[in-house]
Amino acid sequence: MNKLISWYKRISFFKKQLLVATLVTSITLSLASLMLYGKFYTDYKAGLMSGLSAKEALVSETSRSALLFGDEEAAQAILNSLSAFPATRYAVLLDNAFTPVAQFSRTDIRVDIDYQSLQPGNHFLEQELYVFNPVMMDGEQIGYLIISADTRSLAEQRNQYIWILLLVFVLSLVVSFFLHWRLQYFIAAPMNKLVELVGYVARNRRYNKRLGNTGSDELGTLVTGVNSMLDTIEEHEKQLHAHSERLESLVALRTEQLFNRANYDALTQLPNRHLLVDRLNHGIDNAVRENSQMALMFLDLDRFKVINDTLGHSVGDELLVQVAQKLSAVVRKADSVCRWGGDEFVILLEHLHSKDDIVPLAEQILFSLSEPIEISGNQLHVSTSIGIARFPEDGKDSAALLEHADISMYRAKEQGPSQYCFFEANMLDGSVQRLSLEHKLRLALENKSFHLVYQPQVCADTGRVCGIEALIRWQDEELGLLNPVQFLPVAEDVGLMHSLSLWVLEEACTQNASWQAQGGQKARVAVNLPASFIMHPNAVNQITDILDKTGLAPKYLEIEITENTFISNTDHAIKVLEQLRAMKINIAVDDFGTGYSSMSYLPDLPIGTLKIDGSFVRQLGDDEANDGIIQSIITLGKSLGLSLIAECVESKEQASKLRDMGCDMIQGYYYSKPLSAEKTQEFLSETKVA
Amino acid sequence: MNPMRTFISLALVLSLMTSLSVQAELSRTDKLKAAYLFNFTKFLQWPDAEGRFAKAEIALCLDGNPEFFDFMQELVKGRKVGVKSLPVKIKPYQERVTCDVAFLVEEYPSLKQSDTPVLLVSDMSNSSVEPSIAFYVIDHKLRFEIDFDAVSDLNLTISSELLKLSRRKSRE
């Protein structure tokens, strides 16, 4: 049954319809056949009975005279005439007393009915027919006649009917099936087209086909509906397609943007380090294949951090953009300029023949960047240090080339601004030293391995000590005594400068407070603070905290800053310095005269002292122009009510000349080299304090 | 005589005479003759006449034996015959008595009672009469012979059923 249901579900709709129609037809035909059979059967039976009845009437009519006159021969002759009818089984003519007058019967047929108890009329008993009626003459009953007939012909006729009906049934069914099948073909043709269309749509996802009009019947309405639906879907599909195209183009755009973001520097639009490494690897492959050379230039802008810290990130960013443009303009088309990060750039030079190809380019870059750059009204002088590593001499892979170019760059930087340097194998030692230095620096800060030395500042007129500059020193077990110039740039690079400054500040204040507490002469201690410290949001609070913690009066603290402190965000710097000034902390501008900035803002600065740079002092007396600058600085400072101090004074002549020029304070080896805390205390006790 | 046939014949007669009271003196053959005479009227048809000539009864005239007469009268009492359901009237065979059928046992000269034809019935042995229907006995069975030409002369219609049972007489 389940298989039948499953089969029924599998076959097509048209076959189902055909099947149902055939089934209905066969049921109808069966019913009609049954009814016809019943009708035929009963009619034939009635016909048989009526035939027999007619025979009985005829025999009755013809035999009555014989019955009346007791002529048995005549009666027998009449009954014998029934032998012509094969169905007749027997016939008996009886008088009124049921005495047989004549009798006819077939061989082996016996009178099988009790006619005395039989009611007159027609009887159908046990598949035999009986007609039993009185014989009448002029309204008088003169006897009885009974005739019995078999129903063999009925059975034969019934079988014949069955065969005929079966034949009619089968023929009708075949004709009906054929007609249904043909009719369905006409109905199914448009339906099949519809199904075909739906299949086409489902398979190809295309909605361009339509069906022709098939009329105004339900099928026509369906076709019209499907066509209309396809119109809508096609329109919708077009809109979707357009939308999809827009989305795809947007995705392509976003992908390109993502690619650019992943591979290009957002600020300068130069390839970033990721793309550079790709190109570098590719370039190495090419160079190996073509047996050519290539080189990697690692550039780091000198003093960029100062500019960034002082003039702000926007200026720094603009500077980077202009530097990127300059670099791109200088290099060949085949070369790649990339931003490595921060103020570092990498230039990849391919298809080189010798080292000599590199030098002109390096010099051109240095020259190009040495020209001042104007940003937001500021004339900025930047320079760069270039480290150069070559393939295949200096490294076989990208990592080695980059590392070696980086090391070379540091070596160039050590040689001063605007220098380039080719990698040499022995530089690896220096590089290791720098790494070691960074590590030791961190450890030193944690372990407080630094110490301060103090260089007295003596009043030019009186010879008394008027101040002490605290200078940081680092005594390493392996490296020995290190100067600030050796480790402060490293501290700045690795971000330890602020912590180091705080330590120096606290140590100097503690020491001065200690001297004062021990009854020593009270002198002002000067601490150098970088611009980054002053610009720190918590600078004032941190200084206040240290003064509170050490108990040193603010007036015994002097903070030395450089001109660069004012270059960027002048307003904020002034605000910080004003707060410090208000606390009675003196502000001195260190290395005055070496900066690039304008002096026009000097009157507005909350400073108390100008410190003439040692480079001027060292040339004092050798160069009139130099002396003029010193005199100008002193005159300027005086005119602004500032005190002047000269550093790096090593001779009596220098001291005298400066004093004659009007300089207020002298610092240098002439009076004292930087001293330890103990020696300083001794110096202070020996020398009067101003 | 076959006892079975005798029994059948008797049964037939008895069935016809269930209501007869007068029967003692008559022989079985007479009684059969009486029944045959009555039955003959059922198969005869006289020509149609209109008005007062229309037949209102069938007159059966008898002579001789008064027991037979009575027996006949009892036999036909209340019974009607033919298509027109006419009663049968038993009359003595006399002058001026109108007869349709006359059964003559004695030897009479031919009577002329009326214009209407009379169907004469007699025994074969009665040589004085030329009957249209004559009884005779064969194999102990009463049978009759019909003179078809005489009947035709009488302008009577006689049923073929009757003819079928009779022996046909030839005048030659």
Question: Model confidence over A120-140: pLDDT tens digits?
Answer: 999 988 888 899 999 998 888
Domain limits, CATH 3.20.20.450, in chain A: 437-686
With beta carbons less than 8 A apart as the criterion, state whether A593 and A573 touch: no
pLDDT of residue A92 exceeding 90: yes
pLDDT of residue A156 exceeding 50: yes
Please report, as a single letter, which amino acid is at residue A685.
S
Domain limits, CATH 3.30.70.270, in chain A: 273-425
Which helix (H) or strand (E) covers residue A122, if one does? strand A121-125
pLDDT at position A543, please? 94
Q: Which residues form the domain of B116?
A: 3-168
A65, A138, A142 member nearest B164 (Cβ): A65
The pLDDT tens digits for A219-274 are 888 888 888 999 998 899 899 999 999 999 999 999 988 888 889 998 999 999 88
- Which of A601, A520, A599 has its CA nearest to residue A556? A520
pLDDT at position A598, please? 58
pLDDT at position A594, please? 74
Which helix (H) or strand (E) covers residue A284, if one does? helix A273-290
pLDDT at position B3, please? 42
Q: Identify the contact set of chain B against chain A, taking CB-CB distances under 8 A.
A: 5, 7-9, 11-15, 32, 36, 39, 42-43, 79-82, 85, 141, 159, 161-162, 164-165
Provide, rounded to the nearest whole percent, the portion of chain A with pLDDT above 90: 36
With beta carbons less than 8 A apart as the criterion, state whether A113 and A148 touch: yes
- Provide, for chain B, the percentages of residues in helix, strand and coil under a 3-state DSSP scheme, each rounded to the nearest 5: 30, 25, 45
ipTM over 0.90: no
Is residue B2 very low, low, confident or very high in pLDDT (cuts 50, 70, 90)?
very low
- The DSSP symbol for A128 reads E
CA angle A245, A246, A247 (to 5 degrees): 90
Please report, as a single letter, which amino acid is at residue A667.
Q
pLDDT of residue B1 exceeding 60: no
Neighbours of A573 (CB within 10 A): 22
CATH class as words, domain A36-162? alpha beta
Structure tokens at A327: 């670099």
A74, A101, A138 member nearest B81 (Cβ): A138
pLDDT at position B114, please? 53
With beta carbons less than 8 A apart as the criterion, state whether A675 and A685 touch: no
Instruction: Report d(CA A590, CA A588) in Å as an integer.
Output: 6
A229 Rama sector, left if φ>0, alpha if ψ -120 to 50, beta otherwise: alpha
CATH class as words, domain A437-686? alpha beta
pLDDT of residue A524 exceeding 90: yes
CATH class as words, domain A273-425? alpha beta
The pLDDT tens digits for A3-31 are 888 888 888 877 888 888 888 988 988 89
With beta carbons less than 8 A apart as the criterion, state whether A520 and A681 touch: yes
Is residue A453 very low, low, confident or very high in pLDDT (cuts 50, 70, 90)?
very high
A184 Rama sector, left if φ>0, alpha if ψ -120 to 50, beta otherwise: alpha
> Cβ-count burial of A599 within 10 angstroms (0-12 exposed, 13-18 middle, 19+ buried)?
middle
- Which of A613, A620, A565 has its CA nearest to residue A591? A613
Span A580-597, average pLDDT:
84
pLDDT at position A376, please? 82
pLDDT at position A429, please? 73
SS (H, E, C) A285-315: HHHHHHCCEEEEEEEEEECHHHHHHHHCHHH
Is residue B128 very low, low, confident or very high in pLDDT (cuts 50, 70, 90)?
low
* Helix (H/G/I), strand (E/B), else coil: A663: coil
With beta carbons less than 8 A apart as the criterion, state whether A412 and A386 touch: yes
* Helix (H/G/I), strand (E/B), else coil: A625: helix
CA angle A228, A231, A237 (to 5 degrees): 145
pLDDT at position A36, please? 87
Neighbours of A74 (CB within 10 A): 20
Burial code (b: 16+ CB inside 10 Å, e: under 16) for A574-586 equals: bebbebbbeeebb
pLDDT at position A326, please? 93
Structure tokens at B129: 């009469």
Question: Which residues of chain B lie closer than 8 angstroms to A142, CB-CB?
Answer: 15
With beta carbons less than 8 A apart as the criterion, state whether A421 and A435 touch: no
With beta carbons less than 8 A apart as the criterion, state whether A560 and A597 touch: no
Instruction: Report d(CA A588, CA A604) in Å as an integer.
Output: 14
Instruction: Report d(CA A50, CA A458) in Å as an integer.
Output: 168
**Number of folded domains that form chain B:** 1
In this prediction the pTM is: 0.43
pLDDT at position B8, please? 46
CA angle A363, A367, A371 (to 5 degrees): 170
Question: Which residues of chain B lie closer than 8 angstroms to A69, CB-CB?
Answer: 36, 39, 165
Q: Identify the contact set of chain A against chain B, taking CB-CB distances under 8 A.
A: 62, 64-72, 74, 95-97, 99, 101, 137-140, 142
Helix axes A152-204, A218-263, angle to 10 degrees: 30
With beta carbons less than 8 A apart as the criterion, state whether A521 and A561 touch: no
Instruction: Report d(CA A649, CA A672) in Å as an integer.
Output: 10
With beta carbons less than 8 A apart as the criterion, state whether A310 and A569 touch: yes
Span A588-611, average pLDDT:
80
Is residue A213 very low, low, confident or very high in pLDDT (cuts 50, 70, 90)?
confident
CA of A102 vs chain B CAs: smallest distance (Å) = 10
pLDDT of residue A501 exceeding 50: yes
Structure tokens at A21: 């129609």
Instruction: Report d(CA A95, CA A116) in Å as an integer.
Output: 12
**Beta pairing partners, A389:** A296
Helices (H), B57-146: 66-76
Inter-chain CB proximity A97 and B15 less than 8 Å: yes
CA of B162 vs chain A CAs: smallest distance (Å) = 7
Across chain A, what does the average pLDDT equal? 87
pLDDT at position B112, please? 52
Structure tokens at A624: 């009139």
pLDDT of residue A113 exceeding 50: yes
Is residue B24 very low, low, confident or very high in pLDDT (cuts 50, 70, 90)?
low
Inter-chain CB proximity A138 and B39 less than 8 Å: no
The pLDDT tens digits for A368-425 are 988 888 888 777 878 889 999 998 888 888 889 998 999 899 888 877 778 899 998 8
Domain limits, CATH 3.30.450.20, in chain A: 36-162
Span A541-557, average pLDDT:
94
| Nearest-by-CA chain A residue for B9 | A70
